Amino acid sequence: MHPLRRYAVPIFLPAVLFSTAEGCLMPVLPARAVELGADTALAGLVAGLLMIGQVVGDLPSSWVVARIGEQRTMLAAAGLAAVAIVAGGVLPGLPGLMLVVLVVGVAAAAFNLARHALLTEIVPVPYRARAMSVLGGTLRAGLFLGPLLVAPVVARWGTVSALWCAGALAVVLVALLVVLPDPGRRLAPEAAAPQQPERMPLWRTIRDARRVLLTMGAGIAAVQLLRSSRQVILPLWGTHLGLDPEAVAVIMGVAGGVDLALFYASGQIMDRFGRLWVVLPTLVGLALAHLALLPVREVWGLFAVGMLMSIANGLGSGIVMTLGADLAPRENPTAFLGAWRLAADAGSACSPLLLSALAALAGLGAAAVVMGALGLAGAWTLWRWTPHFLPPELSGRGRIRPRRTR
């Protein structure tokens, strides 16, 4: 049996259910907000509250996981998401919807951190990247399956039905987590997990890891910045060219399929050759794809750029979680992972705001150039600093200086 199969039901299946519930919500949130009286700008903010909630919840979630454990945190997060989503179908008015989306984002932060911390603790290092890539693939699968699941339902019963679908998936997830045994207790002995670490205060852990967070964290924020940007700039460029929404939707759908198909290859490359062999092609590829938008004037050019973005992004599946697990101190990994995810989620949350501001001030072409430049800067940062914090067998590049202990 493949070593990763033992994680399929206790870890990967719940992750697919949670991400599919998110995938049911994301396409309909702007339309639901407009139905409740929001204008276009406010509808965009409502959709963005999901990521803002994750940023808000990252650090508090590390405190929760450290005190009640990964399995209980996932159960609590799934329950909170289920209650919030069902409330979103009942509460009238736009403020209620905004509060619901924010709470779901906080629940997502807790759920994602708990499963990340769990895999960090129980998966042996030789299989770590592949496990994290599969975990990243669950997010892609959910965001791919969710819209397909909810589209015919919304067409028949309206946008509120998407909330009911997402809520039903969250309830199923809660039931599954109640039935399943704690994977941390069942699988840790097989993975030769370390003994219970000594807990340190959250802020002390962040202080001790500040050099890692300011260097590697900045690079990983650039990864998430460009990943989030591609989801916004492709449809914006299509609108700029005057393409039909249906054509842009087809491009995004095919791109999502390509992205999903590559997730396991990422883990194999990282485990065999090192982390830089994945993160550098991802960042450089996304940066060059943003720059390649400048000469695009027709649908086939946009399709080609969309494929390039998806290949680059798919090759980076799990890289954020893998590097976080590699860099996390053994004495208190959860607190570090909370700060690490905060840096990554901040990049995702800032991307639409930065892109919109640049497009308004200097045009969409200038926004693409700036995003491309930030991606190249992030690639240089990770190329420069990864060998300082990871040994050659993990980084994929020889040491520049002796490795420093934290």
pLDDT tens track for 222-235: 999 999 888 888 88
> Does a structural domain hold residue 62?
yes
Percentage of the chain lying above the pLDDT 70 cut:
91
Residue 188: per-residue pLDDT: 57
Residue 283: per-residue pLDDT: 96
Cβ-based neighbours of 157, under 8 Å, separated by 6 or more: none
**Of 138, 161, 195, which residue sits at a domain end?**
195
Do residue 169 and residue 281 come from a single domain? no
**Of 162, 195, 228, which residue sits at a domain end?**
195
> Does a structural domain hold residue 247?
yes
Residue 353: per-residue pLDDT: 82
Do residue 215 and residue 282 come from a single domain? yes
Average of per-residue pLDDT values in the chain: 86
Do residue 133 and residue 190 come from a single domain? yes
> Does a structural domain hold residue 69?
yes
Residue 382: per-residue pLDDT: 96
Do residue 88 and residue 123 come from a single domain? yes
Do residue 135 and residue 224 come from a single domain? no
Do residue 205 and residue 178 come from a single domain? no
Residue 34: per-residue pLDDT: 82
The residue segments making up the domain with residue 189 are 1-195
Please name the amino acid found at residue 322: T
Do residue 6 and residue 132 come from a single domain? yes
> Does a structural domain hold residue 355?
yes
Residue 201: per-residue pLDDT: 65
> Does a structural domain hold residue 406?
no
**Of 195, 219, 235, which residue sits at a domain end?**
195
Do residue 298 and residue 242 come from a single domain? yes
Do residue 115 and residue 258 come from a single domain? no
Do residue 130 and residue 35 come from a single domain? yes
> Does a structural domain hold residue 387?
yes
Do residue 208 and residue 315 come from a single domain? yes
> Does a structural domain hold residue 405?
no
> Does a structural domain hold residue 241?
yes
What are the tens digits of pLDDT across the range 226-280?
Answer: 998 888 888 888 878 887 766 777 787 788 888 888 888 999 999 999 999 999 9
Mean pLDDT by 10 residues, the chain (406 residues): 70 91 84 81 78 90 89 94 89 87 94 91 88 88 84 84 91 92 64 46 79 94 93 83 76 82 90 94 96 92 93 93 92 87 90 84 91 96 94 78 42
How many domains are there within the chain? 2
Q: Give the CATH number of the domain where residue 28 resides.
A: 1.20.1250.20
pTM of the model: 0.85
Do residue 42 and residue 175 come from a single domain? yes
